[in-house]
Amino acid sequence: MTQRVIEITSPSFIPEESLAAGADPARLFTRECPLALEIGCGIGDFIVQRAKQQPETNFLAIDIYNKGCHKTCKKVDAAQLDNVRVARLEARYLLTRYLPRECLSAIYINCPDPWPKKRHRDRRLVNREFLQLAFHSLRPGGDLYFSTDFDDYAAQVAGIFPSLEGYRNCLSAPCALELPGYPISKYMRRFLDQGQPIHFVHYRKKEGCADAVPLPAVAQGFRVRWNRAENE
C-alpha cells in the first residue's frame, strides 16, 4: 500500500529542485554562518534542540521519509528557528550531487537503521566508503557525530576510523555512553529509560589535511533508487 505524500508548505522546507549542484548552500539561509548537516532527522527532536544550542550555526536536516520531514518542519516552525532548513533527500545523493567539498562544520548521524540481521548489514549507511565521503564534505576541524542503540554498529563504525587518514578521535575511548551537552531525542530517551544505552562516536577532521583525491565510489542507497542515467 502506497503511503500518501504530505504536501509540505513550510518555509523551512527546501524542495530538491531548488538545490543546484555545487551551489553555495549559504543561499538557503537568511544569514551566512557555518553549515552543519543532520542525516536522518526523524521527527525533528534533535535538530530543534541543537539549533537552539547553536544559533550561530545553520543546519540542514534531511530524511528520506516525507512524514518525518513534515513533522520536523512543524517543530522548526513552532520553535521559530531561522537557522534550520529541511530537505527530503538521501544522504549519499546529497553529498555527491548538491554540496560542495569542505562545506560542512559538522555531520550528525543519530540512530540510523541498524539492519540488525547479519545478512542485511551491508545495507547500513555508515561504512568505510561513507566515512570517506563525509571526509570530503567536512571542512578542516569539522566534526562527525554518530550515535546508535546497537553496540555492534557502534563497534563497527568506531573500528573503521583508525584505518582512515585525516580523522582524529575526540573521545578517550573508541565509543562513549554519553556526550555532555549532546541533545537527546525522544527516540534515544525511550531506550535510555528502558536501561538500554546509546553509544556515541565522535571524530574530527584534522586541520591541514590534503583533500585532493577524487570522491570515493559510493553505493546507492538501498531504499532510494538513483536515476541510472545520473550514474553513467
Max mean pLDDT among 2-11, 143-152, 207-216, 221-230 falls in: 143-152
Average pLDDT, rounded, for the chain: 89
CATH fold of the domain at 32-231: Rossmann fold (3.40.50)
* Alpha helices by DSSP H, the chain: 45-53, 66-78, 91-97, 128-137, 151-160, 186-193
Residues whose CB is less than 8 angstroms from the CB of residue 18 and which lie 6 or more positions away in sequence, other chains included: none
Active site residue 82: no
Is 50 exceeded by the pLDDT of residue 231?
Answer: no
- Local confidence band at 198 (pLDDT 50, 70, 90 cut-offs): very high
Rounded average pLDDT over 17-44: 90
User: Among 77, 113, 143, 211, which one carries the catalytic annotation?
Assistant: 113
Does the pTM surpass 0.85? The reply is yes
Intra-chain end-to-end CA distance of the chain, in Å: 32
The per-residue pLDDT for 76 is 98
Count of beta carbons in the 10 Å neighbourhood of residue 39 = 25
The per-residue pLDDT for 24 is 83
Count of beta carbons in the 10 Å neighbourhood of residue 187 = 16
